[in-house]
């Protein structure tokens, strides 16, 4: 898809319109998504939560352009998504770093392909992004030399390097221990505050969704449908132990019982 | 404690360093001793057997050593190695390059898999030596003919390893690359598939380099000048000490090429 690579507000809105997805399997067609409609405004932080097998990853992949919907469409900045592209940075649960590239070379990948944003150089952008995730000292390390948390940071820095208006994150902290996860959540919020990206965050962790997002989209068990959209009107930083936090969590949790 | 911090640190360092280095030395020494012991025993058994066997059937080690010494000083050994390399290297390199290229294409494009892959699965069972008649009528009993046979062997080994290497590429890395702006097939092959499949490509090339020595000797037995032809000519005169000498030379060449490729592999794959 020919899209402007660099930040442009008109490209930062995601609209999912009546998207359904049916897979063919040996036992017949399997419906993964059913009439899903979501609108993610520019600059918002929206999470999708749902049990595993609820189609939230399918929805993520369709928004990313990795899969085509059976019906309906996803529009990003007005244009229908048909392919992955540098306007939507992606971060996966298993970091998906290029193991043969050093940390700095991983971050530089997208810049080699689409060039650095105006008035910067590749080297400056790499330094800036490593600085954002606090990994300047690991620039020359290979991914195998890093911890799980560090690898996720590199994945985030790599996605940020081409300065996409949108960040799509599929359970990025799902494989991390509790402490690392909490640290990375803080860092992500700081990066979001600084860069003003539109973030779509898929997770099965309700607390994580409530802690991070402006809005939580609750998916049903397969076929995936949107059961509810719950706004989280709390100020940040949020108190995970507060009443408002607990009530929001409970409002989401009731869909899982 | 009456020790100053410096001496304590020194003592600690000494305590840590000495035993660990010592242990490595002992292990390495034990390994070398075993290797030398095994080789000595092997030569000893050969020698003992040769003492009770006619020289024309099994020559003794000193006779073989004498041949090697003479051919090394006269330069004949180097001349023969050079003659062999003149078809070994072009055959190995051309066959490997083609095998890798076709293997990657078949691994990447479904159309190539269904077309080229199908033809390949029919040609694959043909033993490489069965191509010798074609090698002779197309090229003759010369370097080109021998290189052709070697190239066929190298082609298949590299073809299957490259295909497997492409199949083993993590699909998520392809997705990430596409999301970061790599949109052409050739771009994805160059930036993701090739580096990702490099370990398999090396394995293929190294295996092919070894197999190529075997088939090289077979091709030379037919009369293409080189180590194999020399070995065969000597056998016709029952000069078995020459035969053994050049068996050892081929073994050495195999070891050297294998070590060399492994060394390059280790440096290239430092990221692993």
Tens-digit pLDDT profile for residues B129-139: 899 999 999 99
Q: In this model, does residue A51 exceed pLDDT 90? A: no
Query: Which pLDDT does position A78 carry in this prediction?
Result: 84
B180 closest CB neighbour out of A64, A83, A110: A110
Burial group, residue A164, by CB count within 10 angstroms (0-12, 13-18, 19+) = buried
Q: In this model, does residue A9 exceed pLDDT 80? A: no
Query: Which pLDDT does position B21 carry in this prediction?
Result: 55
B172 closest CB neighbour out of A65, A96, A109: A96
Query: Which pLDDT does position B128 carry in this prediction?
Result: 86
Q: In this model, does residue A6 exceed pLDDT 80? A: no
Quick one: CATH architecture of A1-87+165-257?
3-Layer(aba) Sandwich (3.40)
CB neighbour list of residue A44: distance below 8 Å, 6 or more residues apart: A198, A199, A214, A215
**C-alpha–C-alpha distance, residues A103 and B188, integer Å:** 20
Query: Which pLDDT does position A139 carry in this prediction?
Result: 94
Residues 216-235, chain A, touching B (beta carbon < 8 A): none
CB neighbour list of residue B47: distance below 8 Å, 6 or more residues apart: B60, B61
pLDDT (tens digit, 9 = 90+) per residue, A143-170?
999 999 999 999 999 999 999 999 999 9
Q: What is the ipTM of this complex?
A: 0.88
Query: Which pLDDT does position A198 carry in this prediction?
Result: 95
Q: What is the pTM of this model?
A: 0.83
Contact A100 B196 (CB under 8 A): yes
Q: How far is A241 from chain B (nearest CA, A)?
A: 37
Query: Which pLDDT does position B17 carry in this prediction?
Result: 47
Can you give the residue ranges of every domain in chain A?
Answer: 1-87+165-257, 93-163
pLDDT (tens digit, 9 = 90+) per residue, A67-126?
999 999 999 988 999 999 889 999 998 889 999 999 999 999 999 999 988 888 999 999
Task: Please state, rounded to an integer, the average pLDDT across all residues of chain A.
Answer: 90
**Of B36, B51, B40, B60, which Cα lies nearest the Cα of B244?**
B60
What sign for the dihedral angle of Cα A172, A92, A221, A230? positive
Contact A86 B181 (CB under 8 A): yes
Spans of chain B, pLDDT less than 70: 1-24
**C-alpha–C-alpha distance, residues B193 and B109, integer Å:** 12
B271 closest CB neighbour out of A94, A99, A113: A99
């Amino acid at each position: 898809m020919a899209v402007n690579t660099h930040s442009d507000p008109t490209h930062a809105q995601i609209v999912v319109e009546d998207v359904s997805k049916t897979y063919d399997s040996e036992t017949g067609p399997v419906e993964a998504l059913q009439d899903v409609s979501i609108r993610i405004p520019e600059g918002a932080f929206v999470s999708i939560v749902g049990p595993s097998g609820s189609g939230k990853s399918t929805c993520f992949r369709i928004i990313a352009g990795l899969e085509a919907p059976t019906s309906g469409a996803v529009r990003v900045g007005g244009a229908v998504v048909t392919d992955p592209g540098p306007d939507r940075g992606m971060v996966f649960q298993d970091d998906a770093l290029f193991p043969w590239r050093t940390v700095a070379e991983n971050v530089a990948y997208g810049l080699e392909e689409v060039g650095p944003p105006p008035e910067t150089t590749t080297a400056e952008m790499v330094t800036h992004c490593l600085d954002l995730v606090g990994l300047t000292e690991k620039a020359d390390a290979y991914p195998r030399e890093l911890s799980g948390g560090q690898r996720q940071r590199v994945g985030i820095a790599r996605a940020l390097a081409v300065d996409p208006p949108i960040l799509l994150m599929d359970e990025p902290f799902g494989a991390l221990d509790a402490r690392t996860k909490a640290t990375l959540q803080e860092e992500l919020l700081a990066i979001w505050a600084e860069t003003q990206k539109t973030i779509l965050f898929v997770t099965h962790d309700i607390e994580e969704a409530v802690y991070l997002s402006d809005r939580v989209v609750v998916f049903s068990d397969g076929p995936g449908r949107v059961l509810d959209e719950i706004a989280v009107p709390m100020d940040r930083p949020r108190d995970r132990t507060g009443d408002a936090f607990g009530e929001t969590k409970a409002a989401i949790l009731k869909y899982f019982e | 404690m009456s020790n100053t911090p410096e001496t304590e640190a020194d003592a600690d360092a000494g305590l840590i360093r000495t035993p660990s280095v010592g242990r490595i030395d002992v292990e390495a020494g034990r390994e070398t001793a075993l290797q030398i012991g095994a080789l000595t025993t092997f030569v000893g058994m050969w020698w003992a057997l040769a003492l009770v066997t006619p020289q024309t059937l099994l020559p003794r080690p000193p006779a073989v050593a004498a041949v090697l010494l003479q051919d090394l000083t006269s330069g004949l050994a180097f001349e023969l190695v050079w003659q062999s390399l003149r078809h070994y290297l072009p055959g190995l390199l051309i066959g490997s390059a083609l095998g890798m290229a076709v293997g990657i294409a078949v691994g990447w494009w479904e159309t190539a898999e269904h077309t080229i892959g199908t033809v390949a699965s029919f040609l694959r069972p043909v033993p490489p030596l069965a191509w010798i008649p074609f090698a002779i009528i197309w090229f003759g009993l010369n370097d080109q003919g021998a290189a052709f046979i070697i190239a066929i062997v190298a082609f298949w080994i590299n073809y299957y390893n490259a295909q497997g290497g492409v199949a083993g590429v993590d699909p998520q890395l392809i997705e990430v690359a596409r999301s970061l702006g790599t949109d052409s097939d050739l771009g994805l092959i160059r930036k993701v598939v090739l580096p990702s499949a490099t370990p398999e490509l090396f394995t293929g090339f190294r295996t092919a380099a070894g197999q190529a020595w075997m088939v090289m000797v077979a091709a030379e037995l037919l009369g293409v000048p080189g180590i194999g032809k020399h070995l065969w000519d000597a056998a016709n005169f029952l000069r078995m000490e020459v035969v053994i000498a050049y068996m050892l030379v081929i073994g050495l060449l195999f070891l050297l090429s294998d070590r060399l490729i492994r060394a390059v592999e280790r440096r290239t794959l430092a990221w692993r």
